[in-house]
Structure 1
Amino acid sequence: MKNIIYNILKILDKIYINPHLLIFGDYTGIASFCFHTVFENDKEKNNNHTLPNIGLTLDEYKYIFDFFKNNNYKFISTKDYKNLNHGDKCIHVTFDDGYFNTTKILPILKDYEIPIDFFIVGNNISNSNKFWWDIIYNKRISEGKSADIIDQEIMLLQRKTFEQIYSYIIENFGLNSYTTLSDLDRPMTENELRQFSQNKLVSIGNHTFDHAILNNLSKNEIYNQIKKTQDYLESIIGYYPNSFAFPNSYYKSEQFEILKSLDIEYAFCGDFRHNKIPRDLRGEKKYRISRYGILSKREINWQLKMIRAGISPFIVAKEIKRLLF
């Protein structure tokens, strides 16, 4: 049923988007992107060490960047937010988690002069542990489980605390399952993160210490997750980050005061919409700045045109789902 609805929305989008762009042009504001992993090619993407659907190849990243540059967008980071004007067309590139493989994007960023914000999970950097969702994928795919079954297991675990997830991993796969398999699935080391942060195109942000889903935690637990990461990152990069990304994009408005108390100026979710300038960069709205996720399993050109339009049957359906569930 889910696939049927998705295919219907995709067909409606393709009918709608081109006339919309022809008549109304591009939706202005900031289109922020949430990326995770970077692969040399399709063979590397299908390595079974990491979730394939959250990663793109270098050629796919180049295609995305070229697409928006050719449509006269400017690429920005959080450092530019206070210097933007109403009517600007902006792309903001962000990466979550702290995978070492994301360092492969640096030569492209330099060539295209694209700044990025990079949101770090402290625990994995500190302990050099494999990310738990990659453990699930790697183990279950080796057992012959389908991608849909694996996705369901991961989504169920997202409702639990880090401690519950850790116990589940140990019980099902053993402590050694947290050992990384290659440079593709490992997080950065502290020294690599320090060097990465010194690149003038890179800004570092907070993604909690344990990739903790904040809606599963008490206020004190939320504070500790963010504060611990602020202190940890400051010890590595030399400054407190002023930006934050909600793990898995789950958030509640009462969490904004905690962010404010920890000197977080901007926080990012995944509401799948544009951010208007300056409206969505002020007040409480700056603590739920939206990001689009671009998935390789979907047709990329369709996704990019949809983002240019800023509104489509697919985007409306995503917003309705968010409001209802």
Structure 2
Amino acid sequence: MAFAWRSALDRLDERLALARLAAGPERPALLAFMFHVLFEDEAAMNRHEVDPQQRITVRVFEQFVAYFVAHGYTFVAPADVLRGLDPAGKYALLTFDDGYYNNRLALPILQRYGVPATFFISTHHVEAGQAFWWDAVYRHRHRHPLPPAAQQAEYAHLKQLRHPEVDHYLVDHFGAGALQPVGDLDRPFTPTELQEFARAPEVILGNHTHHHAVLTNYAPAAAKYELAACQQALVRLVGAPASAVAYPNGNASAAVRAAAVGAGLHLGATVQAGKNYLPFDRYGVDVLLLNRFLLWGDQDVARQCALFRTDFHLKQLLRFWRRA
């Protein structure tokens, strides 16, 4: 009964949100979007080499970019945001987290439409050629599944650990080769590949910590080290530090924000969904804690994009009333 009620509320919320969008213009805002893995096609996704995450193929990504181009959005880089955006404008900030080599598949689309994207890099993985922990877990559990609740608990547990503890868990549970990528799909860029990729004018590199560290698990000094170590590695790799950070798992706090500022970072992205309304100062938008939306490749792309654009959600209103 509760599930049926929530499903009905979701459907009503979507209908009202789309009706509001059709009835009048959008409020000016920056919409930021977060991607991770990019698959060449469905067949690549079905090889089970990498956690499919949001199941985004090249075709889906191009549909998404084309939608926002067609609806009059200006695509921006972190430097554009930091210089200041026209408070009457509609903007999109494209971001990719982690540093997967498969992200190179986005470049022809970015070039075709003339839009930039920011790629947040976990630099230790690039320098060491190390796989990401969630892919190691995904591959192992695909072969040796746990009950769903236990599998969810394993992911939740690993997100609470610091990076040496995560590595120890993987080796202890899955063997000495757990940290090795299995192919081009799950591996990070190599240093040479990242240098070549970063030469494209559409590509901006950002900070995703050195070890993909969930920073709220770390003492303030250690969190600052993770951010500063990534900055230093980016200098080694491409000659310049980043101006923007995406906090792994979206975890941020006052101490993490201060650590980001101390590492020379001026823009930060979370995983909280929502529009960043303009002008930022009027709506209390903290440029170091920007919201980002997730697109899902197994759902209708145009419908999701329309819902990202809308300024009315019944569920948000109901939550506000319950708090009042």
TM-score, length basis structure 2: 0.91
Find the aligned partners of 2:317 and 2:105 in 1 and give their Cα distance: 34
| C-alpha distance 226-20 of structure 1, shift in aligned 2 (>3 A) | same
| C-alpha distance 262-144 of structure 1, shift in aligned 2 (>3 A) | closer
- Matches for 1:270-285 after TM superposition, within 5 Å: 270-279=271-280, 285=286
- Matches for 1:8-27 after TM superposition, within 5 Å: 8-27=8-27
Q: Deviations over 1:216-239 (max 9, x none)?
A: 110111011111111111111101
Q: Which residue of 2 aligns with 1:48?
A: 48
Pairwise CA distance, 1:27: 3.5
Q: Which residue of 2 aligns with 1:74?
A: 74
Find the aligned partners of 2:320 and 2:128 in 1 and give their Cα distance: 37
- Matches for 1:163-242 after TM superposition, within 5 Å: 163-242=164-243
> Please, which moves more after superposition, 208-217 or 146-155?
146-155
Find the aligned partners of 2:38 and 2:190 in 1 and give their Cα distance: 17
Does residue 303 of structure 1 match 2:281? no
Q: Which residue of 2 aligns with 1:134?
A: 135
Find the aligned partners of 2:128 and 2:44 in 1 and give their Cα distance: 25
Gapped regions of structure 2 (runs ≥ 5): none
Q: Which residue of 1 aligns with 2:85?
A: 84
Corresponding residue SS for 2:38: strand
> Please, which moves more after superposition, 26-35 or 7-16?
7-16
Find the aligned partners of 1:32 and 1:210 in 2 and give their Cα distance: 24
Asked whether the 8 Å contact 1:94–1:118 carries over to 2, the reply is: yes
Find the aligned partners of 1:110 and 1:25 in 2 and give their Cα distance: 29
- Aligned-residue RMSD, C-alpha: 2.5
> Please, which moves more after superposition, 119-128 or 2-11?
2-11
| C-alpha distance 51-34 of structure 1, shift in aligned 2 (>3 A) | same
- Percent of aligned pairs with the same amino acid: 24
| C-alpha distance 238-173 of structure 1, shift in aligned 2 (>3 A) | same
| C-alpha distance 173-107 of structure 1, shift in aligned 2 (>3 A) | same
Asked whether the 8 Å contact 1:27–1:310 carries over to 2, the reply is: yes
Asked whether the 8 Å contact 2:277–2:285 carries over to 1, the reply is: no
| C-alpha distance 151-57 of structure 1, shift in aligned 2 (>3 A) | farther
Corresponding residue SS for 1:195: helix
Asked whether the 8 Å contact 1:273–1:310 carries over to 2, the reply is: no
| C-alpha distance 172-280 of structure 1, shift in aligned 2 (>3 A) | farther
Q: Which residue of 2 aligns with 1:117?
A: 118
Q: Deviations over 1:180-200 (max 9, x none)?
A: 111100000001111111111
Pairwise CA distance, 1:299: 3.8
Does residue 245 of structure 1 match 2:223? no
One-letter amino acid of the counterpart of residue 11, structure 2: I
> Please, which moves more after superposition, 68-77 or 272-281?
272-281
| C-alpha distance 8-172 of structure 1, shift in aligned 2 (>3 A) | farther
Corresponding residue SS for 1:91: strand
Q: Which residue of 2 aligns with 1:97?
A: 98
Find the aligned partners of 2:3 and 2:298 in 1 and give their Cα distance: 13
Does residue 64 of structure 1 match 2:67? no
| C-alpha distance 166-93 of structure 1, shift in aligned 2 (>3 A) | same
Number of residue pairs matched by the alignment:
321
Find the aligned partners of 2:55 and 2:181 in 1 and give their Cα distance: 17
Corresponding residue SS for 1:53: coil
Asked whether the 8 Å contact 1:35–1:293 carries over to 2, the reply is: yes
Q: Which residue of 2 aligns with 1:290?
A: 291
| C-alpha distance 280-105 of structure 1, shift in aligned 2 (>3 A) | farther
Does residue 31 of structure 1 match 2:31? yes
> Please, which moves more after superposition, 65-74 or 232-241?
65-74
| C-alpha distance 88-263 of structure 1, shift in aligned 2 (>3 A) | same
Q: Which residue of 2 aligns with 1:264?
A: 265
Asked whether the 8 Å contact 2:78–2:243 carries over to 1, the reply is: no
